[in-house]
Amino acid sequence: MPALEIHAGEGSDKVLHLTAYGLLSFLAILKRRSFRSAVLVLVAVALLGGIIEVLQPFAGRETEVADLLANTVGTLIGGLGVWLLHRFKPMGSN
């Protein structure tokens, strides 16, 4: 069933999409050992966002390209966050 609408301002749902997919991808690749597995997870998370957008009309909601874009950007930001975390580890940590 469609969720209750929350009116927090124009475009605020895009921030929620970006944040949710950023956190999801960050957590999903945080402990990945290889670059290849991290990239595969990022692709899978981005595809998940696309599939959900395509299927939304079957649940009484609308497909929005802006939502897909926010999902994808959030996914990339989450991946970038993990990369930065691993790149700038404090000295002496493993």
Asked, for residue 79, whether it belongs to a domain, the answer is yes
Q: What is residue 9's DSSP assignment?
A: S
DSSP string, 34-93: SHHHHHHHHHHHHHHHHHHHHHGGGGT----HHHHHHHHHHHHHHHHHHHHHHHTPPTT-
**Type and span of the H or E element at 23:** helix 12-29
Please report whether residue 66 resides in a domain.
yes
- Report the Cα–Cα distance between both ends of the chain, in Å, rounded: 45
The pLDDT score that the predictor gives to residue 9 is 62
In tens, the pLDDT along 29-78 reads 998 889 999 999 999 999 999 999 999 999 999 999 999 999 999 999 99
What's the confidence (pLDDT) of residue 31? 87
Range of the domain at 38: 14-87
Number of domains composing the chain: 1
| Residue 20 within a domain | yes
In a domain, residue 74? The reply is yes
